[in-house]
Amino acid sequence: MEPLVSICCITYNHKEYIRDALDGFLSQRTDFPYEILINDDASTDGTADIIREYEQKYPEKIRALLQTENQYSKGITNPSGAFNFPRVRGRYVAMCEGDDYWIDPEKLQKQVDYMEAHPDCSLCFHSARIITVDGSLSDKRMRPYPESRTVSPGEIVDKPQGYAMASMMFRSEIIRKLPKYYVNCPVGDTPLQLMAAATGYGYYMDQDMSVYRLGAAVSWTSQGKLGDYEAKQERYCRQMEETFTEFDRVTGGRFHKEAERAARRIWYLTKVNTKNYDVVMDKQYRDFFKELTPRTRFYIRFEVCFPRVYEILAKIARARQS
C-alpha cells in the first residue's frame, strides 16, 4: 500500500541526536501507512551507521540515502529538495531534521485528519518545545500564535515569528516542481512556507508536538556564527531579499506588500544580530522592535544605556560557560 505521508529527514553529523528523531518517527500511531525518507550528507561521526541499523530493522518504513561525498560543500544548500522530495510517494510531507524530534505519537494523525477534512489547507504546523544541547528543556517555546487558528496566506508570508521546521506538514503537490526561489534560498523552511502560501491557507495547532534543539554544533544557526559573522549576515540578508523578490514575481504580486515587509524584517533582524543599535533603536523601525521578545528588548536597552556594565556581565557569563 502506498504511504499517505512521507517523512523527510536530512542529517549531517547528528550521531548524538538521530536516535531521538528516528524513534519519534517510528512511535507514530496512525490509521494510514507512512514512509521515512532520510538523506545523510556524508556524516563523519557514525550517523550513517545508526541510520543503517534502523533501516535494517524497519525496511518497510525507512528508505535511506547515504551520501559518500558531502553535497553541501558542492553548493547544494537544500538537500531535501535535491534528494528527498524526488522520492516522495505520499500525499503529504512531514518535515523533521536529524537534530530535532517529535514527542507526540499522534502528531501525524492529528495533522492528516485536519488536512483531509480541509482540502484548501496547504500547510499545517504546531508549537514546539526548545531544548538546549546539554539536554535541558528551555522555558522558551516556538509558539507563533497564542491559540489554534487558521492562518491566511498573507500571514504565512509576513509573520513576526518563524514556524518550527519539525512541525510542518504540507501537500506533496507543492514540491513536485520546485521554484527558483526554493533552490536558491539559503534556508529550507521559508521557501516551503512561501510555496504553501501560494496555494492555500495554513492551520496552526497550539500543541507542543516536537522539540527544536537549540545550539547543535552542526546546525545552520550555529554554523552561521563561525568566521566573519557580519559578512555572513549581510549575505544571508541579500539572499533572503532575492527569495522574496522572486516569490513576489512568480505569484504575480498577490503578496507584494507582505513579501516586501518580510524581507525588510529580515534586514532589521540582521541589524539586531550584528548589534547595529543605531538602526535597531531608530523610531521608524518601532514596529519591528516591538516584535522582539521582551528579554531581547531589555538586553538591547541595557547594553545601549550601560555598555561597560553589560560588557563586564557578558564576560562573567562567557567565563561560566567555558
**pTM: predicted TM-score of the whole model, two decimal places:** 0.91
Cell numbers representing residue 214 in the block? 537549540
Confidence class of residue 313 from pLDDT cuts 50, 70 and 90?
confident
What secondary structure, in 3-state letters, does 146-198 show?
A: CCCEEECHHHHHCCCCCCCHHHCEEEHHHHCCCCHHHHCCCCCHHHHHHHHHC
User: Going by C-beta distance under 8 Å and a sequence separation of 6 or more, which residues neighbour residue 250?
Assistant: 179, 180, 181, 198
Measured distance CA(301)–CA(304) in Å, rounded:
5
CATH superfamily of 5-214: Spore Coat Polysaccharide Biosynthesis Protein SpsA; Chain A (3.90.550.10)
Residue 322 pLDDT: 61
pLDDT for 218: 55
Task: Provide CATH 3.90.550.10 ranges for the chain.
Answer: 5-214
- CA 322, CA 317: separation in Å to the nearest integer? 9
Q: Report d(CA 231, CA 27) in Å as an integer.
A: 42
Structure confidence at residue 116 (pLDDT): 98
The DSSP secondary-structure symbol of 136 reads: P
Grid cell digits, residue 77: 544548500
56: left (phi over 0), alpha (psi -120 to 50) or beta: alpha
Q: Which residues contact 257 (CB under 8 A, 6 or more apart)?
A: 158
User: Taking each helix axis from N to C terminus, what angle separates 294-305 and 307-321, rounded to the nearest 10 degrees?
Assistant: 120
What mean pLDDT comes out for the span 129-136?
Answer: 80
Task: Identify the three-state secondary structure at position 210.
Answer: strand
> Of 185, 183, 186, which is closest to residue 224 (Cα–Cα)?
186
d(CA 271, CA 274): 5
Mean pLDDT value of segment 198-214: 96
Please state at what angle helix 229-250 crosses helix 256-273, rounded to 10 degrees. 180
Using 50, 70 and 90 to split pLDDT, how confident is the model at 216?
Answer: low
Please report the pLDDT score of residue 250 as a whole number: 97
Model confidence pLDDT, tens digit, residues 255-312? 999 999 999 999 999 999 999 999 999 999 999 999 999 999 999 998 999 888 888 8
- Note the pLDDT of residue 222: 46
- Is the distance from CB of 171 to CB of 195 less than 8 angstroms? no
* CA distances, 163 to each of 91, 126, 210, 314, 316 (Å): 21, 8, 12, 30, 33
Q: What is the rounded average pLDDT of the residues 172-190?
A: 95
Element (H, E) at 131: strand 121-132
State what percent of residues in the chain have pLDDT above 70. Answer: 94
